[in-house]
C-alpha cells in the first residue's frame, strides 16, 4: 500500500515586528480601548473559565511563569519572566510569548509575541479597573516607575478614563525623561517630578509600576489622601511589593484572582483572610465598587491569565485580512494520523 502523503498544519505566528505593525494599523490608544472592552467582557463571564494561580519558577534574580486558562472552547497560556536586574544588563525586565489552542482538537490556533502585548493588556486592565473604582471625574494621575510599562499606562488612562495630566517620577531621571519624551504631543500634559511625594500632589489616581525584587515602600501611609485610587502594578511576586502595610489596612482592596494575588500581590503582607473584593464581581454588578468619595480604593494588580487570553483572542481577530503574521510549520500532522514514523522517513 502506498504510504499516505504528509500534510502540513500551519499555525499563524505574530512576531514582534508584526505586532508593532498591528499596533500602528489599529492605533495604540484604540488598541488598548478595544482590549479593555474585550477583557471586561471576559471578566463578566469569569466563572466559566478554568483558573489556577500561575506556575512560578523562582531564582535569586527573577521568576519565570506559565499562565494557563480556558473558557471551554479555547485554551490559552502565556510564558512570562520578571527579572528586575535585567535592565542593568540592557535586557527587558519582562518578556513574554503566548499561545491559543482549540479545546476540541488541542491544535494551536495562534502563537504570538507577548512582551508588547503584555504592556498593552496590563495598561488596559489597569484603566478598566480604574473606570470602575477611581473617583468620578479624575483628571490627574501620578505615575511612579517610568520604565517599559509606563507610557502604555499613561495612554490607557488617557483614552479609557479621561486622564489629562500625568505626574512622572522614577529613581532614574533618565527613565522619566524617556517617558516624557515619548508622551509629548499625545494630548496629555506631562509633569516631571523629582520625588514620589511631589508626583502625587493633586493626583486622584496613583499608579505604581516600579521593578525591584524586594519589599519596597514606594508609597507610605501619609502620602495617600482620602478618595484616591491606587493602581499598584509593580508588586507581582512573592517578596516584591510597593506599598506600606498601613495603606492596605485602610483601603478597599480589589484583586483579580485571590489565590494568586494572596501569593504575589500587595496583600501578601496581610493575613490570609483579610477581606478583598474580586474585580470581576464589581464588573458583573454583583457587588459595589467604590463605596464613597472619601474611600481609598486599591487595585492590587498582579496580572491574570484571563487578561492574556482576552488579548490573544483580540489579536487573532484583529489580524484577519492584514497579512501581519507568518505561517509556522510547528505541528506534525501526517495524513494518516498513525503514520508519524512514515512521514519522518519519507522526508529523508
Ligand atoms: P522596567 O524595569 O522597565 O521599569 C521599572 C522602573 O522602575 C525603572 O525605570 C526603575 O528605575 C524604576 N524604579 C525602581 N525602583 C523605584 C523606586 N523605588 N521609585 C521609583 N522608581 C523606581 O520594568 P517594567 O517592564 O516597566 O515593569 C515594572 C513592574 O511592573 C515590574 O515589577 C513588573 O514585574 C511589573 N508588571 C506587572 C504586571 C501586572 O500585570 N501587574 C504586568 C507587567 C509588569
pLDDT per position as a tens digit, 138-153: 999 999 999 999 999 9
Residue found under cell 525584587: 213
| pLDDT at position 345 over 50 | yes
Pocket of ligand 1 contains residue 211 by CB under 6 Å:
yes
Task: Give me the mean pLDDT over the 249-269 stretch.
Answer: 97
Query: CA 94, CA 118: separation in Å to the nearest integer?
Result: 9
**CB–CB of 277/77 below 8 Å?**
no
Residues sharing a CB contact under 8 Å with residue 286, sequence separation 6 or more, in sequence order: none
Task: Give me the mean pLDDT over the 197-217 stretch.
Answer: 94
C-alpha cell read off for 190: 506631562
Pocket of ligand 1 contains residue 94 by CB under 6 Å:
yes
Q: How confident is the model at residue 7 (pLDDT cuts 50, 70, 90)?
A: low
Query: CA 312, CA 134: separation in Å to the nearest integer?
Result: 27
At 283 the three-state DSSP class reads: helix
Nearest ligand 1 atom, CA 147: 4
Query: CA 329, CA 327: separation in Å to the nearest integer?
Result: 7
Question: Pick the catalytic residue: 42, 170, 236, 308?
Answer: 236
Give me the residues paired with residue 58 across strands: 63
Instruction: Give the model's pLDDT for residue 9.
Output: 80
Residue found under cell 527579572: 83
Ligand 1 centre and the CA of 163: distance in Å? 21
| pLDDT at position 6 over 60 | no
Over the range 186-225, which residues count as b (16 or more CB within 10 Å of their CB) and which as e?
Answer: eebebbbbeebeebbeebbbbbbbbbbbeebebbeeebbe
Instruction: Give the model's pLDDT for residue 143.
Output: 98
For residues 7 and 91, which has the higher predicted lDDT (pLDDT)? 91
The mean pLDDT of the chain is 96
Ligand 1 centre and the CA of 320: distance in Å? 33
Instruction: Give the model's pLDDT for residue 213.
Output: 72
Strands, sheet with 55-58, edge to edge from the N-terminal-most edge strand: 55-58, 63-70, 74-82, 96-102, 108-113, 6-14, 326-334
Q: Whose CA is nearest to atom 9 of ligand 1?
A: 147
Determine which of 2-16, 45-59, 67-81 has the lowest per-residue pLDDT on average.
2-16
Instruction: For helices 305-319 and 115-133, give the axis angle rounded to 10 degrees.
Output: 110
C-alpha cell read off for 38: 474585550
Nearest ligand 1 atom, CA 301: 41
Nearest ligand 1 atom, CA 87: 2
Q: How confident is the model at residue 212 (pLDDT cuts 50, 70, 90)?
A: confident
C-alpha cell read off for 226: 482620602
Instruction: Give the model's pLDDT for residue 2.
Output: 46
Q: Are strands 6-14 and 165-169 parallel, antiparallel or unpaired?
A: unpaired
Instruction: Report the Cα–Cα distance between both ends of the chain, in Å, rounded.
Output: 19
Query: CA 120, CA 124: separation in Å to the nearest integer?
Result: 6
Query: CA 286, CA 82: separation in Å to the nearest integer?
Result: 34
236 flagged as catalytic: yes
What structural domains and CATH numbers belong to the chain?
Answer: 7-116+306-341 (3.30.1780.10), 125-303 (3.40.50.720)
Amino acid at each position: 500500500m502506498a504510504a499516505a502523503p504528509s500534510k502540513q498544519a500551519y499555525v499563524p505566528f505574530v512576531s514582534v515586528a508584526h505586532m508593532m505593525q498591528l499596533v500602528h494599523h489599529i492605533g495604540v490608544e484604540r488598541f488598548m480601548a478595544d482590549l479593555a472592552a474585550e477583557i471586561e467582557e471576559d471578566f463578566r463571564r469569569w466563572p466559566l473559565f478554568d483558573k489556577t494561580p500561575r506556575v512560578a519558577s523562582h531564582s535569586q534574580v527573577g521568576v519565570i511563569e506559565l499562565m494557563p486558562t480556558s473558557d471551554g472552547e479555547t485554551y490559552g497560556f502565556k510564558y512570562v519572566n520578571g527579572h528586575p536586574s535585567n535592565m542593568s544588563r540592557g535586557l527587558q525586565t519582562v518578556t513574554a510569548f503566548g499561545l491559543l489552542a482549540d479545546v476540541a482538537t488541542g491544535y494551536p490556533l495562534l502563537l504570538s509575541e507577548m512582551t508588547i502585548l503584555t504592556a498593552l493588556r496590563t495598561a488596559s486592565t489597569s484603566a478598566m479597573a480604574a473606570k470602575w473604582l477611581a473617583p468620578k471625574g479624575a483628571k490627574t494621575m501620578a505615575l511612579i516607575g517610568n520604565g517599559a510599562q509606563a507610557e502604555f499606562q499613561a495612554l490607557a488612562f488617557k483614552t479609557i478614563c479621561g486622564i489629562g495630566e500625568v505626574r512622572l517620577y522614577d529613581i532614574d531621571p533618565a527613565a522619566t525623561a524617556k517617558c516624557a519624551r515619548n508622551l509629548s504631543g499625545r494630548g496629555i500634559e506631562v509633569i516631571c517630578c523629582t520625588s514620589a511625594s511631589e508626583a502625587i500632589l493633586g493626583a486622584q489616581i496613583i499608579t505604581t509600576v516600579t521593578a525591584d525584587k524586594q519589599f519596597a515602600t514606594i508609597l507610605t501611609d501619609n502620602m495617600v489622601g482620602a478618595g484616591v485610587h491606587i493602581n499598584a502594578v509593580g508588586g507581582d511576586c512573592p517578596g516584591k511589593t510597593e506599598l506600606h502595610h498601613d495603606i492596605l489596612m485602610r483601603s478597599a482592596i480589589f484583586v483579580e484572582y485571590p489565590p494568586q494575588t494572596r501569593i504575589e500581590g500587595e496583600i501578601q503582607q496581610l493575613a490570609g483572610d483579610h477581606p478583598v473584593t474580586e474585580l470581576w464581581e464589581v464588573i458583573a454588578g454583583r457587588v459595589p465598587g467604590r463605596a464613597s468619595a472619601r474611600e481609598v480604593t486599591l487595585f492590587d494588580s498582579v496580572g491574570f491569565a484571563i487578561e492574556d487570553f482576552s488579548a490573544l483572542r483580540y489579536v487573532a481577530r484583529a489580524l484577519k485580512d492584514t497579512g501581519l503574521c507568518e505561517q509556522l510549520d510547528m505541528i506534525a500532522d501526517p495524513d494518516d494520523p498513525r503514520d508519524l514514523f512514515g512521514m519522518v522517513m519519507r522526508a529523508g
